[in-house]
Structure 1
Amino acid sequence: MIRHVVLTGLSGSGKTSVAVHVSELLGWDLFDTDAEIERRTGRTIPDLFRGEGEARFREIESVVLRDALTRERVVIATGGGAVVSPEAWTPDLLGSPESLVVWLDANPDILVERLLEQAQREGAAADRPLLASGDTLERLTSMRDARASSYARADVVLEVSMRSSGAIAGDVAELVRLAHGEESLVTLTVENATSAIHVGIGSRHEIAGLLGQRWP
């Protein structure tokens, strides 16, 4: 039984916005690790990095993630580096069968565009170290390469470059429902034909009934 949905990926992949939609679709609680870190410390993430260093930040992040995973029916948006440490994948954390870890993967070019758009919306309030230097694309590409093996440990990888947060969230919520035994109906349309595909645990045992409904 899945009790936690954990979203990971690079900055700009849409973890927070997708998490909001998933929590609404499932009726689950929402937990943003970066927001919780800022609440507990009274400092922004960039300020913590500058003042305390990455090692100390990761210690705080690890504690917050562990706390989040003690909750039931929760959608967790993590920071991009939260899943990099091997300790995060122990059976009581992300390695638990009760946790569905989803990597939101996107082309670094798209991520740069999104980060620039977000910074423009935020205006003077924006504090994004990734955009502070002129090599944002190079840094994101390098970061993705360095973290790829950790991200690839996720249960599901979703390519999100050209998709809305709502559509992505719909897929994630559907995966949770299927894991909980709910059925899904997928409509496949090709030239001159449309097929209704039933997906679910034990669906093959219902084939006779479904055929009877279709061709009584």
Structure 2
Amino acid sequence: MKKKLIVTAITLLAMSSVSAIADTKPSLSPIEKTQSQDKKEYMLAKHGFDAIRDVQLARLALFRGSPDAAENLIKRAQKSLSEDNSDWDKFIKKNKKTPLQGDNYIIIDESVNVSDDFIATPEKSKAIAKANLQLKNNARKEAIESLRLIGIDVSITQYLMPLNQTRKAVDKAQQLIKEEKYYEANLALKMATDEIITDTISRDET
């Protein structure tokens, strides 16, 4: 089911704080290599995240009577979406929840939900310590399972953007703005955000 894109303050902070990876280290441990790769992937996923953010801001600018600002935001979104990088493939999600044929659904954001009664027990403290170590070593699936065994449920919701469809909607909005059809441009941008879907991952899929 389609849902509006929801971005938490924590996610915004995490996405904006990722730094570029330098290739100057002489050697990396297996954990460091994994962490470096994660940072690289977050930087790429950020292209889609930033594009949708600019689309939303462009819609606001149009309704505030600032078509020039909206056009600049759309151009920035186009730049993000047109990144000619094969690494886009790393973020393609394929399952029954990605309905558009001939398109690639890109993971542009994730949110984590935790169900916990916050009642501390020795067993829970031990399991949480184990999960912390697993998370440190990038073993997310194992950490979630460790928490599940003591009654803490963790679910991950991914936000998926149809890349080709979004590009077309943004390009159409750009053309409509040039024709001074601002209302129609806003509808085109709305199509881009409306096509984003969510997928909640079970612990067996993490």
TM-score surpassing 0.5? no
By percentage of residues, which structure has more helix? 2
By percentage of residues, which structure has more strand? 1
